[in-house]
Amino acid sequence: MLFTEAKGGLRKLVARNHQYLGVNRAIEAVKEIRANRGELGVFWHTQGSGKSYSKVFFSQKIHRKVPGNWTFLVVTDREDLDRQIYQNFAGAGVVTEPEEAVRASSGEHLKQLLRDDHRYVFTLIQKFRTTGDARYPRLSDRDDIIVMADEAHRTQYDTLALNMRTGLPRAAYIAFTGTPLIAGEERTREVFGDYVSIYNFRQSIEDNATVPLYYENRISEVELTNANLNVQIADVLDRAELGEAAEGAVEREFAREYHVVTRDDRLDKIAEDLVTHFLGRGHKGKAMVVAIDKATAVKMYDRVQKYWGIQLAFWQAELETCAPTDRAFVEERLAYLRDTDMAVIVSPAQNEEADLRAKGADIRPHRLRLNRENLEEKFKDPADPLRLVFVCAMWMTGFDAPTCSTLYLDKPMRNHTLMQTIARANRVFGDKVNGLIVDYIGIFRNLQQALAIYGTDSGGGIAHGDLPVEPKAALINQLRQALTEARSFCAALAIDLDAIQATEGFERIRLRDDAVNAILVNDSTRQKFLTHAYLINRLYRALLPDPIAHEFNPTRSLLDVMAQQVRLHSGDDDGLENEATGIAQAVRDIELRLDDSVEASYARWTIDGARPVDLRQIDFEAIQRRFKQGHQHIEIAKLRAMIRRSLERLVPRNRSRMDFYDAFQQMIADYNAGATNAETVFAQLVDFAKQLNEEERRGIREQLNEEQLAILDILTRPSPPLTKAEREQVKRLARELLDTLKAERLVLVSSQ
């Protein structure tokens, strides 16, 4: 267990099952360090499953459980990852030395750190460079140095890695990776050993450690005679990714193709589609636009801003002409458009202003903002309006923002770079059903072929079902399956959804109320129905703005309205969102307005159709007549909700009222178990409500407020009961005691 600094204070981190098992297997490898010759293995846990903190758990447990003066060298190949890894260790209190004391700033600084005695050292693999043909010097003969290599791909077995092993000939090595080793990377296994722990895509989804990823292709724009464009450009980017030369290398080797990918009319069309797609999503998570280079990221930002402004003007005009029933929806859309913030996130470089200006991009306002604000913190904060960012390399790996649900890809990528990038959308957050990958450049056109290498023995033996992404059609199938299961559930309760949908007006309301009454027969049935409706709503929203959503909307909308009524009658504020958009929102609003007109007589004892007023205002005779004439389970649910809310208000103020709470719980348990029928439990609830009514009046009779009454009850527990004179004396003492306690508390606070 760890405690790490987070916004708002310390956050407790407890190892998940896969972290616990993986770390213990890695520690067993350390105990056999002589037998395995320091090849501790490859720790493959998919992105989003907590790999960063697995490193912390692993190193800390070694320090606690394995004798020795251990030093951990944490190696990666990107500046932003190196900084983030240090911050993870420092935030958990594992590293107490300042950043400049343990994070290598140069090759010479790294040599000095490795000659000194530090528990942790952080570096880029690039710091092991030499000039010309010079041989890297031996830095240490210690055999208690463990090198933790982050993302063991290519850089961990080339010349730089050779230099590292020359400098630390007796060190042990373990590779932590979020993606499996692929064909052509067999040497990684030769260097680090076999897999020590595997936690793949499918396992993490089944454990709810990550959400599934779906993808869709949009706007097939790049039509070139070079069918291998993506692979070849991605290869150039891979070869150059260690420095700032990547973008220039692509331009030099693919001048014509680069021009096609970045031409203005193509970017304009993508920006227009992107704005439409972003605004039409059901789940309003944050999103990243991945461009081929910095200049294109800036250009895409400018074009999205243009089409965002067009949308804003459209909805402003719509507000002036829309029907009253649509006004709330239009105002909500306008507020979202006005509030949404966007930013360009790119790393700095020499001469970037002049270089990007030559390509028609102005980086200056974006660089000023990057230097002035903590945009990473803003993007990770679900409440912050920074909802859309434009990147080309930064934040594509090792960046954990659970609120991000959509990636718009317009950059050629492959293999582990592609895998790491798409995983930005697989974090679990709130009611997020899945991450969505929107492909504008054709990365996924041949996804199964491109990822076939992951199914080879050398790639870890991943089955087809373990692929990290699925076509959006799979999401459609999930929604169909969820609707089928909901229909079966309703049919078992004699609820015919098709028959309800086939009617209109008051007849539809009558049939729907019959259905709600059947659902409220007990808590188990109610909760199962709400689970079905909630899942369908989430899947439907995840599917938006795909036009096929119209096929599912009528049944989904009916189930949503029924769920609203179930919650309304039962007072079930469990936090489940049932937010609808467009036509579905209008349908729900109209039906709820019809409900208000039909059930207007309830206004005497409910507030806003759900919240109960004081029990003393209830007309018990009226609700008993309604019980006999109407839907009995609905009436029971309403009365239960009123009593529950009254108890939630009364019991915390006076703990002596716990007997009321216990009696209520037992009454409901008997009802759910079938021990009492509807008529009996309703009579019990009415009688119970009357008792609560009397309890609420007791303070008035005693001429005490709630605080004074609570103290009175504490003092009057003894048996036999007090005489009238004694009660008056205790009441006076209760008032005085409360005043004294409050006065002493004020004195104590003021003295601190």
Write the pLDDT tens digit of every residue in 157-207.
566 777 888 899 999 999 888 776 655 555 556 667 788 888 877 777 777
State yes or no: pLDDT of 564 exceeds 90. no
Maximum mean pLDDT: which of 300-314, 389-403, 431-445, 611-625? 300-314
Band of pLDDT at residue 464, cut at 50, 70 and 90: very low
Band of pLDDT at residue 235, cut at 50, 70 and 90: low
Average pLDDT of span 107-126:
91
What is the pLDDT, as a whole number, of residue 583? 38
What is the pLDDT, as a whole number, of residue 513? 82
**Of residues 163 and 580, more confidently modeled:** 163
What is the pLDDT, as a whole number, of residue 456? 39
Write the pLDDT tens digit of every residue in 34-80.
888 888 988 888 777 788 889 999 999 999 999 989 999 999 887 87
Band of pLDDT at residue 81, cut at 50, 70 and 90: confident
Contacts of 99 (CB under 8 A, 6+ apart): 86, 90
What is the pLDDT, as a whole number, of residue 247? 53
Query: Do 2-206 and 213-467 show the same overall fold?
Result: yes
Per domain, the residue ranges of the chain are 2-206, 213-467, 490-702, 706-751
Q: How far is CA 696 from the centre of its chain?
A: 43
**Of residues 562 and 661, more confidently modeled:** 562
What is the pLDDT, as a whole number, of residue 460? 47
State yes or no: pLDDT of 740 exceeds 60. yes
Please state the length of the chain.
Answer: 752
Taking Cα atoms as reference points, which of 561, 566, 581 lies closest to residue 501?
561
Average pLDDT of span 2-20:
76
Average pLDDT of span 240-260:
57
What is the pLDDT, as a whole number, of residue 34? 86
Q: Which of 190-199, 352-361, 607-616 has the lowest mean pLDDT?
A: 607-616
Give dist(CA 630, CA 650) in Å, integer: 30
Q: Which of 386-390, 521-525, 583-587 has the lowest mean pLDDT?
A: 583-587
State yes or no: pLDDT of 224 exceeds 60. no
What is the pLDDT, as a whole number, of residue 587? 37
Q: Judge if the upstream peptide bond of residue 402 is cis by omega within 30 degrees of 0.
A: no
Maximum mean pLDDT: which of 37-51, 422-436, 445-459, 485-499? 485-499
Q: Which of 67-76, 149-158, 501-510, 663-672 has the lowest mean pLDDT?
A: 149-158
**Using H for helix, E for strand and C for coil, what is the string for 212-247?**
CEEEEECCCCCCCCCCCHHHHHHHHHHHHCCCCCHH
CATH superfamily of 213-467: P-loop containing nucleotide triphosphate hydrolases (3.40.50.300)
Band of pLDDT at residue 398, cut at 50, 70 and 90: low
Vertex 238 angle, CA 233 and 239, to 5°: 100
State yes or no: pLDDT of 679 exceeds 70. yes
Q: Evaluate whether 570 touches 578 at the Cβ level (below 8 Å).
A: no
Mean pLDDT of the chain: 77
Phi then psi dihedrals of residue 494, to 5 deg: 65, 35
Write the pLDDT tens digit of every residue in 688-718.
777 777 777 676 666 667 666 766 666 665 5
State yes or no: pLDDT of 623 exceeds 70. no
DSSP secondary structure letters along 526-560: HHHHHHHHHHHHHHHHHHTT-TTHHHHHHHHHHHH
Give dist(CA 24, CA 744) in Å, integer: 53
Band of pLDDT at residue 723, cut at 50, 70 and 90: low
Band of pLDDT at residue 750, cut at 50, 70 and 90: low
Please identify, in words, the CATH class of the domain defined by 2-206.
Answer: alpha beta
**Of residues 327 and 397, more confidently modeled:** 327
Q: Which of 196-205, 310-319, 446-455 has the lowest mean pLDDT?
A: 446-455
Q: Judge if the upstream peptide bond of residue 382 is cis by omega within 30 degrees of 0.
A: no
Phi then psi dihedrals of residue 111, to 5 deg: -60, -40
Q: Evaluate whether 127 touches 80 at the Cβ level (below 8 Å).
A: no
Average pLDDT of span 393-418:
81
